Amino acid sequence: MSDIQDKVIAITGASSGIGEATALRLAAGGAKLVLGARRIDRIEALAARITAAGGRATAIATDVRRRDDVARLVARAGDQFGGLDVLISNAGIAPLSPLDELRVDDWEDMIDVNLKGVLYGIAAALPVFRAQGRGHFVNVVSTSGLKIVPTQAVYAGTKNAVRTISEGLRQEAGDKLRVTVVSPGYVHTELADSVTSPVIKAQIQHAMATAIPPDAIARAIAFAIEQPASVDVGDIVVRPTAQA
């Protein structure tokens, strides 16, 4: 993973699941990490774990619903490590439910975290990448956007919005910036904990019997990052072999 060595990489939603696994894998490859999440105790502990193992990491409380928080995450990369090579927008929630339940607050939360949080990341990092003449956006979306099913309409909508924005960003980026979207299938994470509908939560927990470990997604993210600067890995889908 020599092409990861010394890269400065910021990760949102780094306190558990895919974000935590990605941080550990990239740290092992020699990256300098800026870890963002709402649970500051979790990311501080993760940063300490990485540092104790000989890696380099710093943690900063980040609620992606707040544009200033995301801006501070990107600024921390510059202040502590002199720049930013990769922004991984991983933070996400999935309070799934049938539309008939009219859980409008949940809809708004998904839009704020899953969609606006990514846009805030673009707003913070794009000027930095332009000034540097290099940079890489990695946006974590979902296989839910590839196969639309009942109860996931709004969640899939937010993920497909990110997919569309990412493609537009890629086309505007020119030959100096890279844009990757990663679509995980069922993964052993805490995402199901954000489901507010008891019936849907039970269904998701049952489906998790086929789930793959978060490191499977971390490996895919590392693969995209470690490619030469002239190689842009645009879209990666990683799902359990048992997932329909």
Q: Which residues belong to the active site?
A: 155
Longest C-alpha distance within the chain, in Å? 51
Rounded distance, CA 206 to CA 227, Å? 36
The CA radius of gyration of the chain, in Å to the nearest whole number, is 17
Rounded distance, CA 15 to CA 91, Å? 9
DSSP assigned state of 212: B
* Residues 223/124, Cβ–Cβ less than 8 Å: no
* DSSP labels, 149-208: -TT-HHHHHHHHHHHHHHHHHHHHHTTSEEEEEEEE-SBSSSGGGG---HHHHHHHHHHG
